[in-house]
Structure 1
Amino acid sequence: MPSRPLLRLHSSRPRSLSLLPLAMIHSSTSRLPHHLPQNQTEYTTQAITYHDRTKHSLTSGYARGPGRLDWANQPNPFLRFVPSSSLPLLHPTTPLSPHYPSIYNSFPSSSLPLSLSSLSSLLYYSLSLSAWKTTAFSTWSLRVNPSSGNLHPTECHILSPPLPDSPYNASPFLSHYSPKDHSLEIRAVVPPNLKLPIPSDSLIAIFSSIFWREAWKYGERALRYCNHDVGHAIAALAISAAALGWDAKLLDSLSHSELEALLGVTKTYPPLPEPLPTKLIRGNLPWVEAQHPDCALVLFPANTDFTVDYPALREFVKGLPDLEWVGKPNSLSKDHVCWDVIYHTAEAIKKPGDDNLFSVNPFHKSGLISEKLYKDFTVYEVVRKRRSAVDMDRVHLMERETFYQILLHCLPSGEVGLGEKQGRNFAMPFRVLDWDAEVHLALFVHRVKGLEKGLYFLVRNEDHFDSLKKAMRSEFEWVRPDKCPAGLPLYRLAKGDCQDLAKQLSCTQDIASDGCFSLGMVARFEPVLHEKGAWMYPRLFWETGVIGQVLYLEAHAVGISATGIGCYFDDSVHEVLGLKGRDFQSLYHFTVGGPVIDKRIMSLPAYPGPGIDA
């Protein structure tokens, strides 16, 4: 007779994990550390307040949003600077790149030199359009990098040394990437008296967010989604770079004001009002469309002794506001809504500069069970095939080895030696990040052949294991599942059918229950903010976005699909896991499975041809 499961997850009201009713908000006394400056303590409190305020609740409702969509003011998804010189990028015709799983094992033996051609490939396989979709009623574009609601708040700018095969072969330049026509809009040319302090075979990419694009649909919760998208973009760029033989690393010692200088923000946008609004306001508010600098990445030939001289880079940045910045941004909407809490929180989470030295972690390959688990796709084919599934088929059954393989590629440290633990970011693409892993995966397994249905947990930083186990339900099993690879810290917490539970947690969305598995990304939260500062708040979301990008690519590489889920009942997830207070918080959900294809929607090429505006 089979043993009785510890928790009956399949029940509509499971005894131990019942969601009706729930004590939705766990109070906790904010611990104010003495080692942070007073203003950083206040900023951390603001970040935590925002996070609590923007939780969706099963009992008290959703975070504050618009209620209805004002279609007349839907933001333009394409930012343009007019007038500015346009540098058309090349459209690769022979997409030669490594076989997909090999990208996790090593960099190519040689890196392509930096040129207009290689820069074109970098952006084409990370941030460009991947297709146009059309029905009888509307037409819209898709991109290589995913975005919540396909709203794309993330913009990319490039600081490049002279490109030998381009008109800009004599001077460095700053540009904005335009995905609609796959081109660079030249914003400023660097004069000879301002020396670019990075080698000629490297470049810097700067990401920024336009909050209004997400807030138009999602209201106050939009700041979370913008930072999910930044994480996806970081991973997309790092993986595309790796296929060229380039490594990538955040320049995370730069301050927010230095990132503003790299974007020419003060020369381009009206300043934020002083004081900031303290309530929701509507009207023609051009400053709502301003870009918020997020981060900068340096890309450089892999396997080289590469470093960045931060003092020299800071001196360079000081001269950028004096450049002649060309072009004004197009208006994205006629009218706007200012969700005041977003802008107060964005001010609080700005990162100050620091004196940390630039360093690149050694490369660790990821665990590989068998390349036969994957379709015969190259890296480039996978990234351009990526789509977000709208529905799952409730049929596809995943092999247990495929499930384990996907999770192996979600580990930050890759393969580790005897006695070593997961936690440091050595593996692709997590090595781009500048901190140790803070995010873990709570998995709802629905349709994995040879694996019992139930609740599982992947510990991505094993230094957190004891605190996680102590914080979660005492009745959880913490048992290693059958045939689990030795280097995969995966544990079964409870047996049982959890399809209804997964659906209920993800705002009652069927897609969370109809795939092979779904998950919630659980981050060490309040302790991180108190240890480091409020500026870690968006970085926790970036980490979830990087994990999400791996899940997207892994799903497509094995022939199925995936979708990020931003709508979930935050504290209901914590209740299921037994988490109280704010030491750990769920920041992003995901689902992986067999997609349902809507045959009513027609696909068109991303770039139909010269002179054709799709």
Structure 2
Amino acid sequence: MHAAEYHERTKHHLHGFAAGPGGLDWATQPEAFRDYGDCPQIALPLADQAPAIPFAALAGGVNPAAMPLSIDALGIFLSCSLAISAWKRYGPSRWALRCNPSSGNLHPTEAYLVMPDIPGIPAGLYHYRPQDHRLEQRRSDSTEMSQTLCNDTPAGSLLLGLSSIPWREAWKYGERAWRYCLLDLGHALAALRYAARLCGWQVRVLEQWTDQDVACLLGLDRADEFIPEEPEYPELLCLVTPTERSASIPIGCLAGCPSGLSAALAERPWSGKANRLSAHHSHHWPLIDEAIRATEQVSTRPGDGVANAQPAPLPFRCADSAVTIIQRRRSAQAFDGVTPLSREDFFSILDHCVPRPSVPPWSGRPAPAQVHLILFVHRVEGLASGLYALPRDLAAAPRLRSAMSDNFLWEAVTDAPEHLPLMCLLHADTRQLAARCACHQDIAADSAFCVAMLGDFEQGLATDSRGYRRLMVEAGLIGQTLYLGAEAYDRQGTGIGCFFDDALHELLGLRDRGFQVLYQFTLGKALVDTRIATEPPYPGVHQPTGA
């Protein structure tokens, strides 16, 4: 199987949806949180002592002094990335929201940390527990092993791995679920990069590690410790390091898995087994397993090219702190269909979606952009309603234009920032078109604007088997950027995973599969359901300050 085949088979169409369960079996709804049972646990401090950096400064690329790697700093880092941000309650029902968004709030992404020995946290492998903001130790590492894994990384560095449990999404979404796992992976990576910058750190993906080696490092290849119907797959391994030292990282520490790692890890003491997420499984989706195998990183690969240089992004007109914006992020359920967004704020939000290696969430990701934006503009003051395009890499603009309908205008928005190549394709009321493409969801029409993200399949899938995953992760990075940009202007966003793929392609006049829609997003003024109560993320929990 090729990744393009998976994408094609999981499209929604006007005449029918991708294969799914046909309904929700509430008796098998997955448990909200992963845990490993009887493992040693370490409580992390909350973000009370986080630096009071304005969100506008953080998103603008400010480089705060690096915090020393400590239990306090780690608590801030995870509090502002993968932790619970609030609980919601309606009658007897209660559910958690997290800093990182997830399709259906199902959260297939898990995080693991390979820590050096620091006060309060012995060297070893840890799984992060957002349910109580703790680390649970899966493996103890010797000093020698810890030094081998760090492999000449700068002082104050750690390794962070991300994995996916497709069953969490497949329970609701069937075969299309793996798309959502990858988008959520991008959401999580972006959340980690914003939080890392708050600590003066940088998160860099180590592309040279194979999936097999990452699984070995994180203990995901220990099949007898997982439920067979609920496999957990390695996705990314990242180096978290002080930003001020990231430029001096020796090539050797990025070159892949240390020799003999598997045998050495097998000799270490391991703790715990993965909990069962569902009582039983009435559906299985082998297409997902096939797609994962087809897109595995099976060999090391050279780094990608470098993104084009860009001027500093347009500043957000926002006085709130970064912690406030990050922890306030919510997914809107409905918009008021009235409140506009100013032209200046619209440009600012879009500008932050353009990759700049020195600005989160693009820091640590120097590759040129391969996902481009199509915008349904409904309520932006001073900008005509219509269909717009924003190529995020100017080098791809000619191919994007030639792939689309010859009837489009491609008129430059003259007073847009010079470095923001925003083009008007069509002057029209696009509200009904946006809703129709988004599975007839009003939220795509009641917003200020709606975005469709087009992935460059021609370029992205030509490099190696991993290209599809990188495209989807890039779309997720854009999604989290839009979420936080919306909050900065007292607006809210919502990722839209349900859309009619080819209906949008037909609207754009796309005649082949060179560009494919990956994700949609809509942004506006949310309607708040006052019947739903909001509760603090860790009520009654005192997390002690570390050493």
TM-score range, shorter chain: over 0.9
Counterpart in 1 of 2:441?
A: 509
Counterpart in 2 of 1:479?
A: 411
Give 1:524-535 correspondences, 5 Å limit.
Answer: 524-529=456-461, 531-535=462-466
Asked if 1:69 is matched to 2:8, the reply is no
Counterpart in 2 of 1:182?
A: 133
Asked if 1:428 is matched to 2:360, the reply is yes
Give 1:61-210 correspondences, 5 Å limit.
Answer: 61-164=16-119, 166-168=120-122, 172-194=123-145, 195=147, 196=149, 197=151, 198-210=153-165
**Cα shift at 1:536:** 1.1
Q: Could you report, residue by residue, the CA deviation over 1:457-479 in whole angstroms, capped at 9, with x for unpaired residues?
A: 01101111111111111111111
Counterpart in 2 of 1:573?
A: 504
**What is the letter of the counterpart of residue 335 of structure 1?**
H
Give the SS at the match of 1:449.
coil
Distance 2:121 2:20 in 1: 46
Distance 1:174 1:604 in 2: 32
Q: Out of 99-108 and 137-146, give the one that drifted further.
A: 99-108
**Cα shift at 1:310:** 3.8
Counterpart in 2 of 1:292?
A: 233
Q: Could you report, residue by residue, the CA deviation over 1:398-420 in whole angstroms, capped at 9, with x for unpaired residues?
A: 1101100101101013xxxxxxx
Give the SS at the match of 1:309.
helix
Counterpart in 1 of 2:383?
A: 451
How many residue pairs end up in the alignment? Answer: 534
**What is the letter of the counterpart of residue 341 of structure 2?**
M
Give the SS at the match of 1:328.
coil
Q: Could you report, residue by residue, the CA deviation over 1:292-312 in whole angstroms, capped at 9, with x for unpaired residues?
A: 100011111113222352457
**Cα shift at 1:103:** 1.6
Distance 1:193 1:552 in 2: 42
Give the SS at the match of 1:465.
helix
Q: Is contact 2:61-2:358 (8 Å) kept?
A: no
Counterpart in 2 of 1:314?
A: 258
Q: Could you report, residue by residue, the CA deviation over 1:272-326 in whole angstroms, capped at 9, with x for unpaired residues?
A: xxxxxxxxxxxxxx31212110001111111322235245742373322332221
Q: Is contact 2:446-2:524 (8 Å) kept?
A: yes
Distance 1:426 1:349 in 2: 29
Asked if 1:344 is matched to 2:295, the reply is no
**Cα shift at 1:83:** 1.1
Distance 1:486 1:392 in 2: 31
Give 1:210-249 correspondences, 5 Å limit.
Answer: 210-249=165-204
Cα pair distance change 1:220/1:392, threshold 3 Å = same
Counterpart in 2 of 1:274?
A: none
Higher Cα Rg, which structure: 1
Distance 2:377 2:40 in 1: 52
**What is the letter of the counterpart of residue 299 of structure 1?**
V
Asked if 1:334 is matched to 2:279, the reply is yes
**Cα shift at 1:105:** 3.0
Asked if 1:467 is matched to 2:399, the reply is yes
**What is the letter of the counterpart of residue 472 of structure 1?**
M
Q: Is contact 2:109-2:185 (8 Å) kept?
A: yes
Distance 1:458 1:167 in 2: 46
- Computed over aligned residues only, the root mean square deviation of the Cα atoms, in angstroms, reads 2.0
Give the SS at the match of 2:344.
helix
Give 1:265-276 correspondences, 5 Å limit.
Answer: 265-269=220-224
**What is the letter of the counterpart of residue 412 of structure 2?**
R
Cα pair distance change 1:259/1:83, threshold 3 Å = same
**What is the letter of the counterpart of residue 464 of structure 1?**
A
Q: Is contact 1:255-1:352 (8 Å) kept?
A: yes
**What is the letter of the counterpart of residue 220 of structure 1?**
E
Give the SS at the match of 2:143.
coil
Give the SS at the match of 1:220.
helix
Cα pair distance change 1:392/1:292, threshold 3 Å = same
Distance 1:184 1:245 in 2: 22
Give the SS at the match of 1:532.
coil
Distance 1:257 1:237 in 2: 23
Residue segments in structure 2 that go unaligned for 5+ positions in a row: none
Cα pair distance change 1:603/1:551, threshold 3 Å = same
Cα pair distance change 1:397/1:563, threshold 3 Å = same
Distance 1:325 1:290 in 2: 19
Q: Is contact 1:363-1:426 (8 Å) kept?
A: no
Distance 1:494 1:363 in 2: 29
Counterpart in 1 of 2:454?
A: 522
Counterpart in 2 of 1:252?
A: 207
**Cα shift at 1:581:** 1.4
User: TM-score, normalised on structure 2?
Assistant: 0.94
Counterpart in 2 of 1:264?
A: 219
**What is the letter of the counterpart of residue 249 of structure 1?**
R
Q: Is contact 1:267-1:321 (8 Å) kept?
A: no
Q: Is contact 2:193-2:363 (8 Å) kept?
A: no
**What is the letter of the counterpart of residue 234 of structure 2?**
P
Distance 1:454 1:312 in 2: 47
**Cα shift at 1:481:** 1.6
Residue segments in structure 1 that go unaligned for 5+ positions in a row: 1-44, 272-285, 414-424
Asked if 1:49 is matched to 2:5, the reply is yes
User: TM-score, normalised on structure 1?
Assistant: 0.84
Q: Is contact 1:174-1:187 (8 Å) kept?
A: yes
Q: Is contact 1:108-1:244 (8 Å) kept?
A: no
Q: Is contact 1:503-1:513 (8 Å) kept?
A: yes
Counterpart in 2 of 1:498?
A: 430
